[in-house]
Amino acid sequence: MEAEGLDWLLVPLHRLVSWGAAAAMVFGGVVPYIPQYRDIRRTQNADGFSTHVCLVLLVANILRILFWFGRRFESPLLWQSIVMTLTMLLMLKLCTEVRVANELNLKRRSFAAGDSRDEEPKAPPRRSYLDFDPHHFWHWSSFGDYVQCVLAFTGVAGYVTYLSIDSALFVETLGFLAVLTEAMLGVPQLYRNYCHRSTEGMSLKMVLMWTSGDTFKTAYFLLNGAPLQFSVCGLLQVLVDLAILGQAYAFACHPQKPAPHTAHPASAKAL
């Protein structure tokens, strides 16, 4: 009787916790990018954020959505991919606008620092994904180019998935590629930090939220019986997050000394 009397409380409580966990899965992944988005808007400088993070997440989540058609997993994970895809497009839009504006402002400052009166500062050369220049890949001058590239990738991947949807091997491989790509999320930021020997411009709050979110996500995968690929790659993602936090600590304890250089008068004035 006592157990039956508690059912009226435990059942709604269990449902509430389940809904909360599902909501955290859907929207929790985008929370780490809020402080980075605000920092970029405030400083009008996107140099500290690697847009290849957006590339990794767009590819991973598009592949995960396609994987859902071959092997239905929990709806919160599907909605998480949709929300994350839209979030990464917003991040790309902001970063592209800021970078192009800064390039144009730099040319204007350089022009103002000179003595020429006959020339006008020219806009930086437009880089499009249709140029097929590997040196400018994912460094295009228009947000529309990123959207076209994402749509082209989605169309090709979707068509291949449609043709191979009956192959269990293909579907499982697609799921593995999706989560493995997502597990590599922090690698572009890790590599950028290593090359610059600094984490300046990177939002530490973002990485801390990455770590807590990935830990929660991996636990969610394990407890809810998600496909094995999800759990293994979730653990890998947590390890990459911890490596970035280790970089932040190491570079803060041993900051790189700026290299001495002689400034040209014109460039000094331009800055």
User: What's the pLDDT at 21?
Assistant: 74
Distance CA 211, CA 219 (A): 12
For the chain, report the end-to-end CA distance as a whole number of angstroms. Answer: 78
User: What's the pLDDT at 118?
Assistant: 47
* Burial label, 214 (beta-carbon count in 10 A; 0-12, 13-18, 19+): buried
User: What's the pLDDT at 147?
Assistant: 93
User: What's the pLDDT at 6?
Assistant: 59
User: What's the pLDDT at 155?
Assistant: 96
Instruction: Provide block-wise average pLDDT over 10 residues at a time, the chain (271 residues).
Output: 58 73 80 87 84 89 93 85 94 91 63 46 58 75 90 95 93 88 81 81 79 84 77 86 88 67 35 28
User: What's the pLDDT at 110?
Assistant: 42
Q: Is 25 left (phi over 0), alpha (psi -120 to 50) or beta?
A: alpha
User: What's the pLDDT at 136?
Assistant: 75
Contacts of 55 (CB under 8 A, 6+ apart): 138, 188
Distance CA 236, CA 158 (A): 27
Cβ atoms of residues 201 and 99 within 8 Å:
no
Q: What is the pTM of this model?
A: 0.70
The domains found in the chain, sorted by start residue, are 1-105+138-167 (no CATH), 185-256 (1.20.1280)
Distance CA 160, CA 89 (A): 24
* Burial label, 196 (beta-carbon count in 10 A; 0-12, 13-18, 19+): middle
CA 268 to chain centre: 35
Distance CA 18, CA 30 (A): 20
